[in-house]
Amino acid sequence: MGKLKPLVEKEVKDLLRDPRIYIGLMVPIIIMPLIGFAMSTAMRSATEVAAKDLKIALLDYDGTETSSSFISLLTHMGLKVPTVSADSLDGALEEARTLGSKALLIIPKGFEEGLLSFGRVRIEVYSIIESVGMGSVGVYSAIDHALNTCSEMLSAMLITKLGPGLKPDVIREPLNITRYTIIKDRVIEVPPQALFGQLMMGYGIIVPMVLFILAITVTQMAATATAVENEEKTLETLLTFPVTRYDILMAKLLGSSIVAVLGGILFTAGFLLYFQGMFVMPGLETGVGGVFRALPPPPPEAFAVLAVTLILSILFMTSLGIVIGALSSDVRMSSSLLGIVIVPVLIPSLLIMYGDLRALPLVLQLFAYALPTSYPMIMAKEMVTSTIPVEVLYGIPYSAGLTLIVVYATSKLLAPEKLLTLQHKLRLRRMKGRQARELERKVT
């Protein structure tokens, strides 16, 4: 341990001195909140501007006192309701566009007669879409809200007319339904749909996404740091020191993991700020905090299993990053080879985030379970609603064994003569591919 400590300090300092590392560390916490703020501000401002001057053109074929009262209701709700007169639908739509209306509302003949006979009347609404921006969502939601409110008011008037002592709310909804959800023997007064949506967003998407980014970050850092040492010829010098290759490898694993955890914390903070900005958008207020406070906390052993699987995942991905960096003669080559690692990790991550692994075909299940990075994501997704998944328990020794194999193979790879041979072969293959593309370009 005495020999390992200065090597780990060296790796951490080398990583923190490299300005390219800071780009990956600082970009998420700066860019993601800006994206969330920009999207929420754009939608809120567009909705407010549209709502201030929201026009609904109206074509009244009934022309009765009841239809006039209905128009007055819409006006009192803050809508501008200019009337149009046309003999055809095309003419009415053209006049509505000229007036700058967002929709055309047609009251058919027999509107008053149908209401007074306690029948259901038909109203036609033609929404005029001229933009697909996010503000349009709020505009047409405001129109629907106004029409639904008018419908409830008319319903209350009709019910009161039938019986002065009747309560319209009770007549419309005679069942007073209180919904409860049971999670781990705890009864929560929350509808299951709302709870599922928030659990899906929190534990099903955000946490696995953070773990995926952490895995990619640690791989990228290890690959970049090792490739920089190759590029500056310091790795070959380090291998000539009286230090075992295993100590050098472990120092790189621990150093990259420490800096990657820092990057994961910054990314998580940026991700949470992004969603905080998104949740204040009109119509997306969710009240996540109160629901999550009512959930039963995960047991301590669940956090222990999550920590073990996460550590094994980080060590596995770091060793792969060191292999990529060792095989690369420069940083550009390591970036191209990094894509070979990202894609196989990305596919199981998407399957875990948006699906149920147990319901997938066996081939996809085996593909997901073959990667140690899948197990912390599975654990994070299932730790609230269920016990520790048995596949995660089996995955711990598997991940440990696979990580040891990769670490051992990587330590054997860290030999100057082997590195030079492999780098030379990869460089030749890359040059041949480039020459073939240039020749094909000249021929065509």
**Left (φ > 0), alpha (ψ -120 to 50) or beta: where does 19 sit?**
alpha
Residue 398 confidence (pLDDT): 93
Residue 348 confidence (pLDDT): 84
Q: What is the pLDDT of residues 124-169, one digit of tens each?
A: 889 888 766 655 666 777 788 888 888 888 888 888 877 777 777 7
Residues 181/279, Cβ–Cβ less than 8 Å: no
Q: What is the pLDDT of residues 249-271, one digit of tens each?
A: 777 778 877 877 777 677 667 76
DSSP assigned state of 55 = B
Domains along the chain?
Answer: 4-41+191-437 (no CATH), 53-163 (3.40.1710.10)
Query: How far apart, in whole angstroms, are the C-alpha atoms of residue 274 and residue 280?
Result: 10
Residue 282 confidence (pLDDT): 47
Say whether 181 sits in a helix, a strand or coil: strand
How do strand 103-107 and strand 56-60 relate by DSSP bridges?
parallel
Q: What is the DSSP string of 207-218?
A: HHHHHHHHHHHH
Residue 397 confidence (pLDDT): 93
Count other C-beta atoms under 10 Å from residue 182's C-beta: 9
Stretch (H or E) spanning 165: none
Residue 77 confidence (pLDDT): 81
Residues forming a β-bridge with 183: 186
Point out the residues of the chain with pLDDT beneath 70. 1-3, 20-21, 23-24, 28, 39, 42-53, 131-138, 184, 194-204, 206-207, 230-241, 245, 264, 267-268, 271-272, 274-297, 329-330, 385-386, 413-444
Residue 121 confidence (pLDDT): 85
